[in-house]
Amino acid sequence: MVNYILRRLAQSIPQLILISLMLFILMQAFGDPIASLGVRTPPKPADRVRLRRQLGLDQPVYVQYFVWLAGNDWMMIDMDGDGVGETPGKRRGVLRGDLGNSLTNKRPVIELITERLPNTLLLMGVVEVVIIIISLSLGAYSAVRQYSLFDTVVTGLSFVGFSMPIFLIALLSMYLFSVSFKEWGLPYLPTVGMFDPQVGKTPGQIALHMVLPVLSLSIISIAGYSRYVRSSMLEVLGLDYIRTARAKGLREIFVIRRHALKNAILPFVTLIGLDIPFLLAGAIVTESIFAWPGTGRLFVEHIALSDYPVLMGILMMTGIAVIIFQLLTDIAYSYLDPRIRIG
Amino acid sequence: MTTTALPRSSITDDIAKTATLSPWQLAWRRFRKHKMALISLGGLIVIFLYVFFGGALFARGLCDPTGVFVTGEAYANCNDTSIKLQPPSQAHFFGTDTIGRDILARTIYGGQISLSIGILAAIVEVLVGVLVGAIAGYYGGWLDDVLMRVTEAMLIIPSLFLLIVLAKVLNGKIPEMEILGRTLSGSVIVIIFVIGFTSWMYLARIVRANVLSLKELDFISASRALGVSDSRIIFRHLLPNTIAPIIVSATLGVSSSISSEAYVSFLGLGVQTPTASWGNMLDGSVKYIQSAPWLWFFPGLLILLTVLCINFVGDGLRDALDPRSTKHL
């Protein structure tokens, strides 16, 4: 098992390096990050040249990538423009955990990300729990009551939900639960931010502000997964051991929960693990709409600024998260299904 | 007990009928059984009629600041700030947007852009995916290694991130151009390629897996022994045998491309105005969620209906083309 994990991690390193190289080269074509500093762009051309040199933007792409990857603290860099390196470099490079500094506000990228990451993780965690609970119960119940009214309605709704773009769910739910509820004099939900500044960052406030983002992020996945659970549950319910269990006189609730559901959710584990990237992508849109201060919104803000160290940082964190979740999925799967052995 | 008037078995009936049917006719018969797919096909035809012929009916009127009577796309792009943000009315069925353009006309011309992007991006996706998958699967060796490592590397990053990065890189790099009598923002072409190039990976893996198993079969060895060229084996023998997943992916690719366009345009990185698309009509509408819900409701509804119909048709096609496939949805 340990061998398997190590081998998988080793395999993912070249993948990460390859994708980071591709993204890094692409980002050089973003245009001049100095020009997109706005009011803080130095007006004098000479200053702009100096700033470019200080940020290392005057170097060829491969040098910049190498510095990004491996740092430059072992060499002297040229800060005054005479062609001779005199200032020791300070960057340690991504390989040693230094994601560089933001081009726009000079703060370390790692700091910018760790500031926002807990908010995204909180949102994702709640979304994941909501998705699992609701899609399992919806899927299992529609399978048990196949072709009933409930099943038909859930089937229809899940097709609609699956085709809904996230922003449409977000806009509709905002309109209904916030705007309309307010008009009708009902208690309404807040739409933007993480907490009401007048009340402060209390757990209650955060929970209240999370309702709509969680709703928008989870509906699509619930729609997809509940279908999946339904079909695998139907498959399991047709098997012999279920009939045996019923013949033994076990109560139906036992047959469903202990015997059928346990086997039916096996493929579901894989599905959840592999769909994490889609959730992360969905977070870009959701966080932008609801002004949720997470990494997705950080990405959108810094795209406009062409601030590539921040963007690379977020993308690499995302990539690593995806790889880790793939690995965890495989491990969880082999643990849940003893027939599958990995290694 | 008499056994005279037994009805003829419907199974033997079916066999008798299907014996002379081509595989495509068989597929059509199975497709017809999928009620929702049929209804959705009808829905799609209505949407296409609305988008491609609705302009003649609904896009005409006075362009007020100039006082000229205009038709077609000029009407959709005609802005008159004196009538901005008007709710749906007799004059403007879907209301007007933030600078006083008619939303109904814009959903028509924006729909042309969104549907074209959906179809063309899906074509790019299929071309890249099939080519990469077929080459990697057929030739194997280092070529397979290189192509599959790139595919896997691209799968590590969620495609919306890749889409945004690529769209940002190419934004404004392609000038406006005239195609079929319409002046299109260069961003339309950019978005087509960007969506195509960030969505081919799953299809490439499916095609590669199919080609890998097919190329071991006797008929391929036979063709090779006969001296048939590689490209002929790939395009005439291998790919036709893996056509079912390709068609299904292409169909679902159209709907996912339409949503992808909407996502990037919603974030302001997609199709640039004045060219309308369903996605960029939504850009900024979140600010008007309360005061002008018609801004986002109509384009949003059209996106939903189109994507829903295409997904149902894709589902029907999956059932029709590959009856053994397990249904995930």
Strand partners, A87: A77
* Chain B residue with the nearest C-alpha to that of A21: B153
Residue A37 has pLDDT above 70, yes or no: no
| Percentage, residues of chain B above pLDDT 90 | 22
The string of pLDDT tens digits covering residues B62-73 is 666 666 677 667
Angle of helix A308-336 relative to helix A266-289, nearest 10 degrees, comes to 160
Phi-psi region of B217 (alpha: psi -120 to 50; beta: other; left: phi over 0): beta
Q: Do B304 and A163 touch (CB under 8 A)?
A: yes
pTM of the model: 0.84
- β partners of residue B183: B178
Q: Which two tokens stand for residue B294?
A: 């018609």
Tokens 């009933």 belong to: A148
The kind and range of the H/E element at A76 are: strand A76-77
Supply the DSSP symbol for A279: H
Among A99, A156, A116, residue whose Cα is nearest residue A316? A99
Report the alpha-carbon distance of residue B77 to residue B90 in Å, rounded.
Answer: 19
Give per-residue pLDDT as tens, B253-312: 999 999 999 888 888 888 877 788 888 888 877 788 778 888 888 899 999 999 999 998
Mean pLDDT of chain B: 82
Q: Chain A closest CA to B36's CA: distance in Å?
A: 10
B217-234 confidence digits (pLDDT tens): 899 889 989 989 988 999
Residue B131's pLDDT band (boundaries 50, 70, 90)?
very high
Residues of B in contact with A18 (CB under 8 A): 149-150, 153
| pLDDT value, residue B326 | 43
Question: For residue B22, what are its two tokens?
Answer: 């081509």
Contacts of B211 (CB under 8 A, 6+ apart): B133, B134, B137, B138, B234, B238, B242
In this predicted model, what pLDDT tens digit does every residue of A304-316 receive, in sequence order? Answer: 888 888 889 999 9
Residues B158 and A318 sit within 8 Å (Cβ to Cβ)? yes
**Distance (Å, rounded) from C-alpha B283 to C-alpha B296?**
9
Cβ density class B142-174: b for 16+ within 10 Å, e for less? eebeebbebbbbbbbbbbbbbbbbbbbbbbeee
- What is the rounded CA–CA span in Å between residue A158 and residue A330? 27
Out of A163, A165, A303, the one facing B263 most closely (by C-beta) is A165
From chain A residues 258-287, the ones with a CB under 8 A of any chain B CB are 277-278, 280-282, 284-285
Interatomic CA distance for residues B309 and B277, integer angstroms = 19
Query: If pLDDT is split at 50, 70 and 90, which confidence band does B321 have?
Result: confident
Taking the C-alpha atoms of residue B258 and residue B314, their distance in angstroms, rounded to an integer, is 14
Report, as an integer, the average pLDDT of B30-36.
83
* Interface ipTM: 0.84
Residue B183 parent element (H or E): strand B182-184
Instruction: Dump pLDDT digits (tens) for A153-206.
Output: 998 888 888 888 888 898 888 888 888 888 888 887 887 777 777 777 788 888
* Per-residue pLDDT at B15: 57
pLDDT single digits (tens) A110-161 = 888 888 888 888 898 899 899 989 999 999 899 888 888 988 899 888 888 8
What average pLDDT does this structure show over B147-174? 84
Give the pLDDT of residue B10: 55
Whether omega for the bond prior to residue B175 falls within 30 degrees of 0, making it cis, is: no
What would the mean pLDDT of A34-62 be, rounded to a whole number?
73
